[in-house]
Amino acid sequence: MKFKILLALIFVNLLQAQKFYFPKTAVNDSVILEKQIPGLAQQIIPQLQSTKYKPENTVDLMDNLFRLQMVAQDYKNSLTSLSENRNLFADNNMGGYRFIGLELYALAKMEQKETNSSFPNALQKVFNQKYESLPEKLIPRLGLALDGDVNASRKLLKSLLDKQKDKDSIDYRTALALCKSYLNYKTYSNIKPQVMQLLASRDKEKFITETQDLKINGNTLTITIVRKKENTSPLPVILTNNIYAGPFDEFFGKRAATYNYVGAVVNTRGKRNSNDVNNPFEHESKDIYEVIDWVSKQPWCNGKVGMIGGSYLGFSQWAAVKKVHPALKTIVPQVAVGIGIDYPAQNNIFMSYMLQWIQYVTNNKFTDEADFANAVKWDSIYTKWYKSGKSFRSLDKISGKPSKIFQRWLDHPGYDEFWQKMVPYKEDFSKINIPILTTTGYYDDDQIGALYYFKQHHLYNKNADHYLVIGPYNHGGAQSFGFTYVNGNPIDPVARISIGDLAFSWFDYILKEGKKPEILKDRINFQVMNTNTWKHVADLDKMHNSSLKFYLQDKKNTSSVFNKPQTKSFTTQIVDFKNRDQKDIYYKVSKKDSIKMTNSVAFESEVLDKDMILSGNLSGVFNVSINKKDFDTDTYLYQIQPDGKSSLLSTHIVRASYAKDNEKRQLFEPNKMEQIPINNSYVMSKKIEKGSKLLLLVGVNKNPNWQINYGTGKDVSDETIKDSGEPLEVKWYNDSYVELPVYND
């Protein structure tokens, strides 16, 4: 076995070291590049097909294959590869049709050759044929799929070519990247202007699209209304409140129209034609009420309004029900941001990403895609701040763009009135009596927010008509479509549902007296990973029917980490906040896998002797003593599969001083044992196979992606490395435990 692994590693290393002929003259001469690039792709294809890929990389393999075939001008086989793997490529853009731009380019090239026609004529013909053949529900997504970024692909292509200056050979990885970037640039620079015009022409035949400005609360908001031409009678309106002004405005409108509703998309203050100040989250509860009032009185509206959208757009719906307008009959919040709950701080710990997002939505009247997508820039900003030891409050200045919004948010580290006034708070939930459908996922960045609203609604309104659908979806999937792979792992076929179809089936049920969606058999509808089944229960606590306590103890000293320790002891952890050059530490799972565990302590279970379904929230309590007044904890639960691969199950982070009450800070007394309850962890539901182990990492949150809590008791945003003092010493007592939610059939 070791010999086979060694041979495989040697093969992969040889592959990466292999060089292909590629003349340096191609770097600056587009004519030579045009001639050389197909041959380069032809050289790579056999190597790609012979590589020993792991099953989870099947998507990447087939994606690279059809692209290389296209670059090699083997259009027929390229389209065959694409067609055969369309379901494999399903994602949040257009299911298997997200490559329609590349597909149209290949079809046009084939048509051009077969009929000896011009490329524009060939492109027009194949576009019209493709448009007619597409399912109607995909038509709204065409604009997004065809809107390739020509400038970005040109820059990437140039950067890759620049690396080849004065070289007559190219390595495998660079050659693959060069071929793919060349294809993107070649495709969209050739087709985009024409196909966008063709699409606009076809849309005019199908839809009536109007854009106008509304005066709301003394401010200007831009609203886009889309209707199907064939629908001449008043209809229910599906409203979306969108801060991400741009192509998605028409998409959301056309999507609703395609399902035979009127689509209305209103942009927030400061977006599109609005010259008002853009303060995200702060005015939605007032503005949306007035927008609904205006919409409900229009001749194309039958007086009924529903709302839909994900992330910020999901938050907007909860803002809208702070005071429910009589015309608002239902909302479908997807992956909803829990403002002040999971963003911009998760369990009271502010995240560095908040600044990147603020600039994304406030830099201009639309969205600053180039800046937001510049991962290198933002990573360097976070790292620069982290290395500097300056206060978290200085992050915006370090970025080169001070932000009043960033500073204002930091002034509210607890869940205080500033956040509470944006969405329903406590008794406000008791007044929400419209039906609601929430969707989120086990890997959704805003799962904690989405479930916060769900739990609060049911807590304060015992008759809440509120359903939840949750499965193995990430932030994108839980507002669009169940992906084929999530986090590198295949998901069960039964989970691959269209969240869009579900949402509009719900609208039909509520707004048109249609049939209740089949999947909604109870209040909570969840997919158990690795079982290919859905389960349905009345409340979140019934996602499991027993529990198992995982104690923080070394398995070498006990027969089982699931047994309460007989004698009390502790594990000491030391974290030096002054050390900013600390090397990452990894937990070696197997020869195949390792897990980063810097600033964490690892506890591993024994091998499980039977299958186990973990389903629900992690809970429990940490008994600790620290030599400071506060710290931020993080917890990760992994499955170590029998094949030696790790899989993340759930996470939890919290500021210890807010763990008991997210509104009121309660500092610790140094060197005194304190309790930290585990609340608001990520929900999971997965069958853990016999022969697996569970790995629990608990530790201190210290990295460039989050605030650093130095433990002085001062406002964490103002603390600096000068406040670090002596290293943090945490004593993790072995009677601490993480309670695992177990479902027994």
Query: Quick one: 556 and 529 in the same domain?
Result: no
Interatomic CA distance for residues 97 and 542, integer angstroms: 38
Q: Is the dihedral of CA 156, 160, 165, 169 positive or negative?
A: negative
CATH number at residue 568: 2.60.120.260
Query: Quick one: 447 and 471 in the same domain?
Result: yes
Query: Quick one: 457 and 522 in the same domain?
Result: yes
Interatomic CA distance for residues 610 and 642, integer angstroms: 12
Interatomic CA distance for residues 387 and 375, integer angstroms: 18
**Are 638 and 649 a contacting pair, CB within 8 Å?**
yes
- Which residue, of 542, 565, 595, is where some domain finishes? 542
| Domain presence at residue 687 | yes
| Domain presence at residue 614 | yes
Q: Pairing state of beta strands 207-216 and 728-733?
A: unpaired
Which residues lie below 8 Å from residue 24, measured CB to CB, with a gap of 6+? Answer: 164, 165, 166, 167, 168
| Domain presence at residue 62 | yes
Look up residue 420 and give its amino acid: Q
Interatomic CA distance for residues 652 and 641, integer angstroms: 21
Instruction: Give the per-residue SS3 of 226-258.
Output: EEECCCCCCEEEEEEEECCCCHHHHHHHHHHHH
Query: Quick one: 197 and 254 in the same domain?
Result: no
Query: Quick one: 531 and 616 in the same domain?
Result: no
Query: Quick one: 639 and 507 in the same domain?
Result: no
CATH number at residue 427: 3.40.50.1820
Q: Pairing state of beta strands 485-486 and 489-490?
A: antiparallel
Query: Quick one: 680 and 602 in the same domain?
Result: yes
Interatomic CA distance for residues 59 and 90, integer angstroms: 10
Average pLDDT for consecutive 10-residue bins of the chain (745 residues)? 40 56 91 95 87 53 90 95 74 62 96 96 97 92 92 92 92 93 96 97 97 96 98 98 96 98 98 96 97 98 98 98 98 98 98 98 96 96 98 98 98 98 98 98 98 98 98 95 83 93 98 98 98 98 97 86 94 97 93 92 96 98 98 98 95 98 98 97 98 97 98 98 98 98 94
Task: Please count the helices (runs of H) and the strands (runs of E) in the chain.
Answer: 20, 30
What's this model's pTM, rounded to 2 decimal places?
0.93
In the prediction, which pLDDT does 489 show?
Answer: 82
Task: Return the DSSP state at 516.
Answer: P
Query: Quick one: 527 and 671 in the same domain?
Result: no
- How big is the chain, counted in residues? 745
Interatomic CA distance for residues 296 and 307, integer angstroms: 13
Tokens of 239: 């409203």
Radius of gyration in angstroms for the set of CA atoms belonging to the chain, rounded to a whole number = 27
| Domain presence at residue 527 | yes
Domain range enclosing 363? 349-411
Helix (H, G, I), strand (E, B) or coil at 473: strand
Helix (H) or strand (E) holding 653: strand 646-655
Query: Quick one: 328 and 353 in the same domain?
Result: no
| Domain presence at residue 7 | no
Helical pair 119-133 and 100-115, crossing angle rounded to 10 deg: 130
Query: Quick one: 183 and 296 in the same domain?
Result: no
Interatomic CA distance for residues 461 and 569, integer angstroms: 44
Chain centroid to CA 144: 18
| Domain presence at residue 209 | no
b/e map of 267-306 (b: 16 or more CB within 10 Å)?
bbbbbbebebebebbbbbbebbbbbbebbbeeebbbebbb
- Which residue, of 411, 428, 457, is where some domain finishes? 411
Phi, psi of 21 (to 5 degrees): -70, 130
Q: Which residue bears the tokens 């290919």?
A: 532
- Which residue, of 509, 542, 575, is where some domain finishes? 542
Interatomic CA distance for residues 246 and 260, integer angstroms: 23
Task: Give the E-state strand segments of 565-610 in sequence order.
Answer: 570-575, 586-588, 594-596, 600-604
Interatomic CA distance for residues 152 and 130, integer angstroms: 26
Helix (H) or strand (E) holding 707: none
Query: Quick one: 558 and 676 in the same domain?
Result: yes
Query: Quick one: 38 and 143 in the same domain?
Result: yes
Task: Count Cα neighbours of 659 within 13 Å in the Cβ-side half-sphere.
Answer: 25
Interatomic CA distance for residues 600 and 703, integer angstroms: 12
CA terminus-to-terminus distance, the chain: 38
| Domain presence at residue 24 | yes
In the prediction, which pLDDT does 87 show?
Answer: 66
Domains held by the chain: number: 4
Look up residue 239 and give its amino acid: L
